[in-house]
Structure 1
Amino acid sequence: MATTLRIASWNINSVRARIDIVERFLREEAPDILCLQETKVADPLFPEGPFRQLGYNHIVINGQPMHHGVAILSKVPLANRQAHDWQANGEARHVGVELRGGVRLENVYVPAGGDIPDRNENVKFGQKLDFLARMTEWSGSLSAPTILTGDFNVAPLETDVWSHKQLLNVVSHTPIEVEALGGLQAAGKWVDLAREFVPPQEKLYTWWSYRAQDWETSDRGRRLDHMWVTPDLKDKAVGHKTHKPCRGWGKPSDHVPIVTEFRI
């Protein structure tokens, strides 16, 4: 008998500062697995208690004080933890595990890249491109069925941003970043699941800036958060949802959760 597995991904922008809305989301949506990015906490201080109380007893973390950090919280067993240093400087931006059936789940937080889209003028932008290049090399060597999710910090399609023309020179939607992400996608033949369920011609966002006075009315969003799978898992995905209302909760993250349901 087939069962389903629901996997969520959310850049929470400090798990301790926003533990209340994380708990609310888990109570209301109850995904089987939650992948968090930008947890901003060292491993010994990660707030495991609230997650365990909600049944997320399998916890895999890769944290860092005050910056970056990723975590996987699960109701189902996790095995074979790996953490790649795609930043090549020790920053905690990836953690991956093996699920039942040998499926890999990789949770990544790609660097934002600073404000200037030029590696000669902005070291952070060069680091972002190099990060994606290392991921691309890794993707070309994959053999296991794999789910890749997280905050990629790139909105690749024109419909992934509120204004393609106005954001062409804004980091996250520049042609060089879109090309780099496209190379990553091609290397692993990754399937962008959101766009399997929401047609590419439709607007779709997962992030709205804190700078907006009224984020919902202006709706100047970007789709920075993604759920990709290797081709052998494409037909296992039976649903995908972007939880936009979470952006309006008290003390919100500027990102919202995405959830994909798999039939396994």
Structure 2
Amino acid sequence: MPFTLATWNINSVRLRETLVARLLEEETPDVLCLQECKSPVDKIPREAFTALGYPHMVARGQKGYNGVAILSKLPIEEAGAADHADLGHARHIAGRLANGVTIHNYYVPAGGDKPDRAINEKFGQKLDYLTAMRDTFHADRPEKAILVGDLNIAPREDDVWDHKKLLKVVSHTPIEVEHLAQTQDAGGWVDVTRADIPQGNLYSWWSYRAPDWDTADKGRRLDHIWATGDIAQAAHSSRILRDVRGWEKPSDHAPVFATFDL
């Protein structure tokens, strides 16, 4: 059963309901994973998405912050929601498709501005969250699973616009990259996007602070699609919809897509 999956940090699902609807209508992914929904679950505009052919949803939400949701054309049942590092945040939801594939949708903490947990609590929370993810995958190694989301780390040199300039900037520091690598290794996860597009600069986020974001192109690849080794070879057709970053009143993230022949 081939299916196409997309992940997108929407930065308020209610504020950008029309953008979600446009993506669903124009691109018709079978599954859309959203992060930073900033909404209680009962306030997500589910009826509008159902009308577009997405009647299934699993989600965790909270008012004004965080929040993750999986919208699906295909039947999906909830398969858990972890509170890593005991932060009390709505940052993870898992759903299982009828073919047995489990989809994990994550919104890893951004980490604040200073890459030093001694003076920045948020950076410590980010590292602790990744450590808890790693330990979870060590304890219960996933199989037939896909992990997507805004992981808030650009791990490779060509995942950022300037590697040397960003080495001390949160999202590309060596300690974050190492924590992400340990998390990936613990679950045997394969970076599907880079398996498909192994070379060249690739970004999914451009700051709101740059009004000429497209021309300046100072981006980072913060949004990821991973798969466990047993199904990674079934993935193909990876792409990042850069143009979506230029839609009216956009999120600062662009959607990332992949198709799985399973």
Opposite residue 229 of structure 1, the aligned amino acid is: A
Task: Return 43-52 or 241-250, whichever deviates more.
Answer: 43-52
Task: Tell me if the contact between 2:68 and 2:91 (Cα under 8 Å) persists in the aligned partners.
Answer: yes
The equivalent of 1:164 in structure 2 is 163
Q: Which runs of 4+ in 1 moved over 4 A?
A: none
Query: Is the partner of 1:34 in helix, strand or coil?
Result: strand
- State, as a whole percentage, how many aligned pairs show the same letter: 52
Shift in Å, 1:50: 1.1
Instruction: Give the superposition deviation at 1:74.
Output: 0.3
Alignment check: 8 A CA contact 2:143 2:230 kept: no
1:234 and 2:232 aligned: yes
Aligned partners of 2:122, 2:14: CA distance in 1, in Å?
A: 26
Note the 1:113-192 alignment, pairs <5 A: 113-140=111-138, 141-192=140-191
- Cα root mean square deviation, aligned: 0.9
Q: Which runs of 5+ in 2 are unaligned?
A: none
Stretch deviating more after TM superposition (28-37 or 81-90): 81-90
8 Å Cα contact 1:109/1:150 also seen in 2: yes
Give the deviation of 1:238 after TM superposition.
Answer: 2.2
Partner of 1:96: 94
With the length of structure 2 as denominator, give the TM-score of the two structures.
Answer: 0.98
Matches of 1:188 and 1:61, distance apart in 2? 23
SS class of match (1:101) = coil
Aligned residue number for residue 3 of structure 2: 5
User: What's the offset of the Cα at 1:235?
Assistant: 1.2
- 8 Å CA contact retained: 2:142, 2:187: no
CA shift for structure 1 position 262: 0.6
Q: How big is the shift at 1:143?
A: 4.1
What SS does the aligned partner of 1:84 have? coil
The AA in structure 2 aligned to 1:210 is: Y
Alignment deviations for residues 233-264 of structure 1 (CA, whole Å, 9 cap, x no partner): 11111221100000000000000001110111
Deviation at residue 67 of structure 1 after TM alignment: 0.3
Following TM superposition, by how much is the alpha carbon of 1:4 offset from its aligned partner in structure 2, in angstroms?
Answer: 1.3
Aligned position for 1:106: 104
Instruction: Name the structure 1 match of 2:210.
Output: 212
Taking structure 1 as the reference length, the TM-score comes to: 0.97
Distance in structure 2 (CA, Å) of the matches to 1:54 and 1:40? 22
Structure 1: where are the runs of 5+ without partners? Answer: none
How many residues are paired up?
Answer: 261
